[in-house]
Amino acid sequence: MITSKIIANGILRAIVFLVIAASSLYFLYLIQSVLIYLVVALILTLIGNPILDFFNKRLKFKHTLATIVTLLVFILFISGFVLMFIPLISTQGQNLSLLKTAEIEKNITQLVNQTSAFLESHHIDSEKMLNEAKLTSKINFNFIPNFLNAVLGTISSFGIGLASVLFITFFFLKDRLLFINGAKKLIPDNHEDKILNSIHKINHLLSRYFIGLLLQLFIVFLLYLIVLFIFGIPNPFVIAFLCAVLNIVPYIGPLIASVLAAILTMLSNLGSDFQTEILPTTIYVLIGFWIVQIIDNNLSQPLIFSKSVSSHPLEIFLVILIAGFLSGILGMIIAVPLYTILKVIGKEFFPENVVIKLLTKNI
């Protein structure tokens, strides 16, 4: 028989559970920076594991020395990256008028007017449409400097974050066996082999994936840079870098990169004749970027998304598409690593399942 005391105890337990859950979520919110450091350090660890094994097994370095050298490789790479791009971004960013709201609005208004004049010359009544829409008045250009101020604020704390990430990465690399042995004590004996095998396969596949992803971004950056150099576009390093980074977002990123490149190309040629200079140059740049995407989609991406994580290209496409519908851009970015983890776990724990057997036959 249900009594008032039982009901009261149930309500009390539910309240306690909700309080604990809310407190836990709030605590995770407060330490979100630490969680980000851990995730970045884990990604660096996955990238660094093959490098560490190379120094350990091929060059016969002691484990601690191999860890230090691996970390030095990361530091040299990051230092070179910063020394290469920060001066370019600071000087060329000013040339692009990124920090001048009024200048941005003036340039875009001028570009809209030139576009309108070009369409009018081809008997397209766009000026009336643009004036009625009042496009420039509806765009708040303040978001650009506000966004960049946020970026600068992030860069200012970059040093602390980088030091924290590298410190965590050092111990992830150095004491990975210690972490595995510690995990063994927490894992039930009847599932120990399956879980450890899953961890080993996940580590191997994701290491290949992240290394391949870095290689893909570097290849795309070089190809974008060549296109921009061929057509004499100002600020080629910054534009190529921004567009290459956008490729992290599958399928949508390249489209955004093409639009960004077209806008920056037009803005960089303001003052020239629209019909004979701005429009043809922009079209050539877009064609060049689309050629880069054809190369990337048919060579780089299949190699990374298919070979590195042992999945069919159509399978990867559907996973990314579903993740995009469920969680937006963030879902698309983490779709492949998360799907790989789920496949490995599925193969270890449900190897006889027909669907899992079909999806994991190459793992």
Q: Give residue-wise pLDDT tens across range 224-275.
A: 999 989 888 877 887 888 888 888 877 788 888 888 888 888 777 666 676 6
Q: Is the whole-model pTM more than 0.85?
A: no
Question: Other CB atoms closer than 10 Å to residue 258's CB: what's the count?
Answer: 19
Domain membership of residue 207 (yes or no) is: yes
Question: 145 pLDDT exceeds 60?
Answer: no
Question: 134 pLDDT exceeds 60?
Answer: no
Question: Other CB atoms closer than 10 Å to residue 35's CB: what's the count?
Answer: 11
3 state DSSP class of 272: strand
Domain membership of residue 83 (yes or no) is: no
pLDDT at position 158: 61
Question: 151 pLDDT exceeds 70?
Answer: no
Question: 351 pLDDT exceeds 70?
Answer: yes
Domain membership of residue 227 (yes or no) is: yes
pLDDT at position 123: 62
pLDDT at position 325: 84
Token couple for 210: 């992240």
DSSP class of residue 187 equals S
Instruction: Calculate mean pLDDT across residues 193-215.
Output: 81
pLDDT at position 98: 44
Question: 132 pLDDT exceeds 70?
Answer: no
Domain membership of residue 321 (yes or no) is: yes
Q: What angle do CA 329, 161, 215 make, to 5 degrees?
A: 55
pLDDT digits (tens, 9 = 90+) for 77-119: 877 766 665 655 555 455 444 444 455 556 566 666 666 666 6
Burial 202-222 (b: 16+ CB within 10 A, else e): bbbbbbbbbbbbeebbebbbe
Instruction: Calculate mean pLDDT across residues 132-153.
Output: 50
pLDDT at position 97: 44
Give the count of alpha carbons within 13 A of 23, CB side only: 6
pLDDT at position 348: 81
Task: Decide if 296 contacts 286 (C-beta within 8 A).
Answer: no
pLDDT at position 154: 54
**If you count DSSP H runs as helices and E runs as strands, how many of each does the chain have, helices first?**
16, 0
Domain membership of residue 167 (yes or no) is: no
Give the count of alpha carbons within 13 A of 135, CB side only: 15
pLDDT at position 223: 92
Instruction: Calculate mean pLDDT across residues 316-338.
Output: 81
pLDDT at position 210: 82
Task: Decide if 332 contacts 324 (C-beta within 8 A).
Answer: yes
How many structural domains comprise the chain?
Answer: 2
Question: Other CB atoms closer than 10 Å to residue 70's CB: what's the count?
Answer: 27
pLDDT at position 10: 76
Could you identify the residue written with the tokens 């009594």? 3
Task: Decide if 70 contacts 48 (C-beta within 8 A).
Answer: yes
| Poorest-pLDDT segment among 67-76, 100-109, 349-358 | 100-109
Instruction: Calculate mean pLDDT across residues 339-347.
Output: 85
Region for 233 from its dihedrals, namely left if φ exceeds 0, alpha if ψ lies in -120 to 50, beta otherwise:
beta
pLDDT at position 226: 92
Instruction: Calculate mean pLDDT across residues 71-75.
Output: 89
Which domain range does residue 253 map to? 188-363
Question: How far is 31 from 33, CA to CA, in rounded Å?
Answer: 5
pLDDT at position 136: 47
Instruction: Calculate mean pLDDT across residues 55-64.
Output: 86
3 state DSSP class of 270: strand
Among 15-29, 77-91, 139-153, which range has the highest average pLDDT?
A: 15-29
Question: 320 pLDDT exceeds 70?
Answer: yes
Under the banding of pLDDT at 50, 70 and 90, the label for residue 3 is low
Domain membership of residue 264 (yes or no) is: yes
Contacts of 224 (CB under 8 A, 6+ apart): 239, 240, 243, 244, 257, 261, 289, 292
Amino acid at 254: P
Burial 126-162 (b: 16+ CB within 10 A, else e): eeeebeeeeeeeeeebeebeeeeeeeeeeeeeeeeeb
Domain membership of residue 162 (yes or no) is: no
* Residue predicted with more confidence, 342 or 305: 342
Task: Give the alpha-carbon dihedral of 318, 320, 324, 330, to 10 degrees.
Answer: 170
Contacts of 220 (CB under 8 A, 6+ apart): 243, 244, 247, 292, 296, 300
pLDDT at position 99: 42
Domain membership of residue 105 (yes or no) is: no
Instruction: Calculate mean pLDDT across residues 195-212.
Output: 81
